Amino acid sequence: MKPDNLRIVILAGGSGTRFWPLSRTNFPKQFLDVEGRGESLLRGTLTRNFPLVDASRVFVIAGEKYRDALAKELPELPPANFIFEPMGRDTAPAVALLTLYVALKEGPESIVAILPADHVISPREKWQSALADAARLAEESSAIVTFGIAPTFPSTQFGYIESKPGEAKTSSGLSAFDVSAFREKPDKATAEKYVAGKRHFWNAGIFIFRAKTMLDELRNNAADIIEPLEAAAEAYAKTGGLEMLREVFPTIRKTSIDYAVMEKARNIKVIASDFAWDDVGAFDALRGLRERDEAGNVVEGPALLHKATDSIVLAKSGRKVILAGLDGVLCVDTGDALLVAPADKPELIKEIALRLKSEGCEEVL
Amino acid sequence: MKPDNLRIVILAGGSGTRFWPLSRTNFPKQFLDVEGRGESLLRGTLTRNFPLVDASRVFVIAGEKYRDALAKELPELPPANFIFEPMGRDTAPAVALLTLYVALKEGPESIVAILPADHVISPREKWQSALADAARLAEESSAIVTFGIAPTFPSTQFGYIESKPGEAKTSSGLSAFDVSAFREKPDKATAEKYVAGKRHFWNAGIFIFRAKTMLDELRNNAADIIEPLEAAAEAYAKTGGLEMLREVFPTIRKTSIDYAVMEKARNIKVIASDFAWDDVGAFDALRGLRERDEAGNVVEGPALLHKATDSIVLAKSGRKVILAGLDGVLCVDTGDALLVAPADKPELIKEIALRLKSEGCEEVL
């Protein structure tokens, strides 16, 4: 079941401090082996598609500073399948650029799947089956197809996809709906209504479409974004040179594909996903992704937990880490920095990053 | 005010795990710079006496395995002023051996002050004045003189010295009493009675006596301890050889000087000390010995505390340590081991040491 015209585009440009000190300015979350299975999130985003595509059909966009790290993580990709942004401009310019590039290299009828590089999805068989369904649906319907995640709680941290009544079935039997609206992160009361109404899904930022479909939507809804990128994409496709992109990219509006296109496009479908999905927003996500000991602790590396419960200990420096007599503590030990904080307060980690910056400790950021 | 016949004997044999991972099997508490003033407890035990004695008048006993560490910490002491125990046998054999040795080398009329190596005493001027008083009193009265610490709470972790009614004054005006009894660590109710009655002092393990006086008491009350040591002390004084000591020492009863002598001796006086004293029993003692920031934290090394209170962070490895959003946490970061635990539960640290041993992690103990 290898869809002939499927191409994968991985958005690997994300940064973020929520996994500090594991993640760093030059080593963001997508490079971390979050699941502890010997594979970074980025590499997992590649390999989970392998039965559906060859490496030659996978494209990646990320910041230029990650060039070496990307080549190391994804050695099977041809060099021409990487595009480097001179700076992050959110997802709309990245999707526009890559869709242009894939259309030029692989043809405008190619089915493109846009995948964030820093999510966990399992099991892989379900993902592959769902993606094949989505590719087929995108081809047959000329819609932009998304995966919707059934919300398990009224999160105010995710955008929501509102579906229309009227269920269809995909080839493998998943439920598919027409989309009536994309909703930005709601307040608590609204989120509760969404969950109660059972018509809303979490937006996982995964989009599958015919290249031509997305290019049309971009031209209709975000011409200021796509037009300056056309020549740059062509130049890169012809010469592999990034000069034009470096010139153009900083002038482009910084915005998300959700805002630039998805909230305006008319033909969108959502497939209710049956795979498990986690955007791994903070360290406490490890509690759902890793094995826990009988006291509820997540432990990696040479650690000894003594009368400690519901804690997360990542001993990455090789040193012996002892956590004793504490509950719900996060302890991350790396070669040059150590973090000890409550496991359920990710906001503190952002604050710490700001303080380290303001106190001139950039060398550990 | 240099008392001509005063000799200092430092008992540096203590081990213990309560300061793990700062202290180790081969680097016990007395070698730590607990006060953060650039001087170990052991070295402080030497230098606080310097206006009263020269280094040539200071003797030290400790385990043979500390030989190199001792020479490094106390370089001004003549080699013949160290005696090495082949094993720890508690304080009675150590005091007996050293008193014999000092009597042989310096004469039986020498006034010997026995000082534990792992206590904090300040200010030094008060200590020096009190010690000069005690030396004078020991000489004039032929008593064993002790310092009593006025109890600040009903501790069950210290032995107590019971004084007789009837106060005398030392040369510098401190209160001195005859001692009616030495009391072992009491239960809570008894400790409360001691504190309420105002006749009991904490026993700091500091004893000042004429060498001959202690030797007589040992011969009367603990002949089995002192007799086998006489020839060994003589051999060491003559040849510097430890062979005989190595043979004899393991056969000697392991017991404290309190139990072997102090509970039985007839002529004991206690001086109510006016210096501050701390036996630094556990990490939380640092809260009383170190400067604290406005949130009550004790911090050493390259650490950042963010919304953390009443905690103790010792960043000894050079790495950046971040403690955030926690209260009352102890975080000790060394080159090969890291401890995170509540600051006020020293019993956990003993338990950890036992677990590390049972799990074959002796390399970090």
> How close B309 comes to chain A (CA, Å)?
12
CB contacts of A355 in chain B (<8 Å) are 304, 306
Nearest CA in chain B to A307: B348
The verdict on B303 and B263 lying in the same domain is: no
Indicate yes or no: CB of B340 within 8 angstroms of CB of A356: no
pLDDT at B165: 95
Name the pLDDT band for A132 (thresholds 50, 70, 90): very high
Q: Which of B336, B340, B362 to mutate to test the interface with A (most CBs of A within 10 A)?
A: B340
Determine, yes or no, domain membership for A321. yes
Say if residue B265 is in the same domain as residue B317. Answer: no
Average pLDDT, chain A: 95
Structure confidence at residue B150 (pLDDT):
97
CB < 8 Å to B351, chain A: 306-307, 324
- Contact between B229 and B248 under an 8 Å Cβ cutoff? The reply is yes
Instruction: Collect all residues of chain B within an 8 Å Cβ-Cβ radius of residue A361.
Output: 304, 320
Regarding whether B292 and B262 lie in a shared domain, the answer is no
Does residue A298 lie within any of the structural domains?
A: yes
- Residues on chain B touching A322 (C-beta within 8 angstroms): 21, 337-341, 352, 356
Contact B351/A320, CB-based, under 8 Å? no
Residues of chain B with pLDDT under 50: none
Tell me: pLDDT of A31 over 90: yes
Range of A316's domain? 284-364
DSSP-assigned letter for residue A164:
P
Q: Pull the structure tokens for residue A236.
A: 């890169």
pLDDT over threshold 60, residue A351: yes
Average pLDDT over residues A110-124: 97
CA distance B141 to chain A (A): 52
Which residues in chain A have their CB less than 8 angstroms from residue B338's CB? 315, 319-322, 331, 333, 338
Token digits of residue A265 = 């496009």
How near does any CA of chain A get to the CA of B358, in Å? 12
The whole-angstrom distance between residue B171's C-alpha and the CA centroid of its chain comes to: 25
Q: Are residues B231 and B302 in the same domain?
A: no
At A3, the pLDDT band (50, 70, 90 cuts) reads confident
Report yes or no on B1 lying in a domain. Answer: no
Rounded Cα distance, B278 and A169, in Å: 76
Residue ranges of E strands in A140-220: 144-149, 160-163, 168-169, 175-183, 200-210
Q: Looking at the structure, do residues B231 and B269 belong to the same domain, yes or no?
A: yes
The reply to whether B260 and B330 lie within a common domain is: no
The span from the CA of B271 to the CA of A266, in Å, is 93
Residues counted in chain A: 365
Tell me what ipTM this predicted complex has.
0.90
In the prediction, which pLDDT does B1 show?
53
Give the pLDDT band (50/70/90) at residue A139.
Answer: very high
Q: What is the mean pLDDT of residues A99-119?
A: 97
Contacts of residue B5, defined as CB under 8 A and 6 or more positions apart, other chains included, come to B106, B107, B109, B110, B111, B135, B139
One domain for residues A268 and A316: no
Same domain, A253 and A328: no
| Rg for chain A, CA atoms, rounded | 21
* Contact list, B361 vs chain A (CB under 8 Å): 304, 320
- Tell which residue, A271, A49, A270, has the closest CA to residue A173: A271
Number of domains making up chain A: 2
User: Residue B93: inside a domain, yes or no?
Assistant: yes
Q: Do A351 and B320 touch (CB under 8 A)?
A: no
Strand extents, DSSP E, chain B: 6-11, 58-63, 82-85, 111-116, 120-122, 144-149, 160-163, 168-169, 175-183, 200-210, 268-272, 276-278, 298-300, 303-306, 312-315, 320-324, 329-333, 337-342
DSSP-derived 3-state class of residue B303? strand
- To the nearest 10 degrees (0 to 180), the angle between helices A223-239 and A91-106 is 50
Are both B167 and B257 inside the same structural domain? yes
Q: Which of B261, B278, B295 is the last residue of a domain?
A: B278
**Boundary-marking domain end, from A251, A278, A305:** A278
CATH number for the domain spanning A202: value is 3.90.550.10
Chain center to CA of B40: 13
Residue reference for tokens 């699941």: A35
In a domain, A82, yes or no: yes
Long-range pairs of A319-323 with CB within 8 A, sequence gap ≥ 24:
A319/B335, A319/B336, A319/B337, A319/B338, A320/B336, A320/B337, A320/B338, A320/B356, A320/B361, A320/B364, A321/B337, A321/B338, A321/B340, A322/B21, A322/B337, A322/B338, A322/B339, A322/B340, A322/B341, A322/B352, A322/B356, A323/B340, A323/B341
* Unique residue bearing structure tokens 């021409």: A80
Q: At what angle do helices B91-106 and B223-239 cross, to 10 degrees?
A: 50
Judge residue B137's burial from the number of C-beta atoms within 10 Å of its C-beta, 0-12 exposed, 13-18 middle, 19 or more buried: buried
Q: Which candidate from A329, A336, A348 shows the least CB-CB separation from B306?
A: A348
B16-56: pLDDT as tens digits: 788 999 999 889 999 999 999 899 999 999 999 999 999 99
Do B326 and A319 count as a contact with CB atoms less than 8 A apart? no
DSSP SS3 for A209: strand
Last residue of a domain, one of B237, B257, B278: B278
Asked whether residue A1 is domain-assigned, the answer is no
Closest alpha carbon to A91 in A122, A62, A64: A62
Distance CA A104, CA B290 (A): 68
Interface of B with A (CB under 8 A): 21, 304, 306-307, 315, 319-326, 329, 331, 333, 335-342, 345, 348-349, 351-352, 355-356, 359, 361, 364
Q: Which of A6, A13, A273 is nearest to A161 (CA)?
A: A273
Claim to verify: residue B299 and residue B344 sit in the same structural domain: yes
Query: What's the pLDDT tens digit per position in A144-192?
Result: 999 999 999 999 999 999 999 999 999 999 999 999 999 999 999 999 9
Return left, alpha or beta for A318; rule: phi > 0 is left, psi -120 to 50 is alpha, else beta.
left
Does residue B176 lie within any of the structural domains?
yes
Q: Are A230 and A223 in contact (CB under 8 A)?
A: no
Q: What percent of chain B has pLDDT over 70?
A: 100
Q: Tell me: do A146 and A18 sit in the same domain.
A: yes
Q: Identify the three-state secondary structure at position B292.
A: coil
Instruction: Using DSSP bridges, classify how beta strands B329-333 and B312-315 pair: parallel, antiparallel or unpaired.
Output: parallel
Beta bridge partners of A58: A8
Nearest residue in chain B measured CA to CA from A357 = B304
> For residue A73, what is the enclosing H or E element?
helix A67-73
Contacts of B364 in chain A (CB under 8 A): 320
According to DSSP H, which parts of B184-317 are helical?
188-197, 211-221, 223-239, 243-248, 257, 286-289
Nearest CA distance, A319 vs chain B (angstrom): 5
Model confidence pLDDT, tens digit, residues A200-252: 999 999 999 999 999 999 999 999 999 999 999 999 999 999 999 999 999 99
Q: Say if CB A158 and CB A119 are below 8 A apart.
A: no
Written as one string, the DSSP assignment of B31-68 is: GS-TTSSSS-HHHHHHHTTTTT--GGGEEEEEEGGGHH
Residue B130 in tokens? 């009190």
* pLDDT at A17 > cutoff 60: yes
Q: Is A323 helix (H, G, I), strand (E, B) or coil?
A: strand
pLDDT digits (tens, 9 = 90+) for B130-179: 999 999 999 999 999 999 999 999 999 999 999 999 999 999 999 999 99
Tokens 């003797």 locate to B59
- Asked if residue A49 has pLDDT above 90, the reply is yes
Report yes or no on A142 lying in a domain. yes
B187 and B317 housed in the same domain? no
